[in-house]
Amino acid sequence: MDIDLIFKIAAIGILVAVLNQVLIRAGRDEQAMMTTLAGLVVVLMMVVREIADLFSLVKTLFGL
């Protein structure tokens, strides 16, 4: 796992938090919720990809 993955996740989190606050202040609560969910899905996809790489590495390491 690289350190830039952590930085990417943190950047997405900051961006989503700022967009969420701006949209809530503008009275667009539904769009704020959708933005939060989209950010969560993007981060989860990044993490799932890393976990899949980990399982692949363990599989080849033990010859399974």
Tell me: the pLDDT tens digits for 26-44? 999 999 999 999 999 999 9
DSSP sequence for the chain: --HHHHHHHHHHHHHHHHHHHHHHHTT-HHHHHHHHHHHHHHHHHHHHHHHHHHHHHHHHHHT-
Q: Is the pLDDT of residue 17 over 80?
A: yes
Quote the percentage of the chain above a pLDDT of 70. Answer: 98
Please report the pLDDT score of residue 1 as a whole number: 61
Length of the chain: 64
Task: Give dist(CA 56, CA 62) in Å, integer.
Answer: 10
